[in-house]
Amino acid sequence: MSVDRMSVSGPQSSAGILGISSNTNLGGWKFNPRGVVIFAAAFIILVKIIDVVINRRLL
């Protein structure tokens, strides 16, 4: 079992986060890679803001 054979997995190697590639179509939803990155960044920022608000309320 060589490392080279595993690293070159063909079309699957282009899959992004959670196996979602730019061609993935789930129930009519088309994922574009930039949108996924922007959504992930916005989600992380939102969670951090909520975390700060909760911590301030507890102090």
Compute the residue count for the chain: 59
The structural domains of the chain, with segments of one domain joined by +, span: 3-58
pTM value?
A: 0.44
Query: What's the gap between Cα 51 and its chain centre?
Result: 21
Q: Which pLDDT score, from 0 to 100, does residue 26 have?
A: 55
Q: Which pLDDT score, from 0 to 100, does residue 42 have?
A: 94
Pairwise CA distance, residues 40 & 34, whole Å: 10
pLDDT in tens, 7-42: 444 444 444 555 555 555 555 566 677 888 888 999
SS3 13: helix
SS3 29: strand
Which residues have a Cβ under 8 Å from the Cβ of 15 and sit 6 or more positions away?
21, 24
Angle formed at CA 40 by CA 56 and CA 49, multiple of 5 degrees? 10
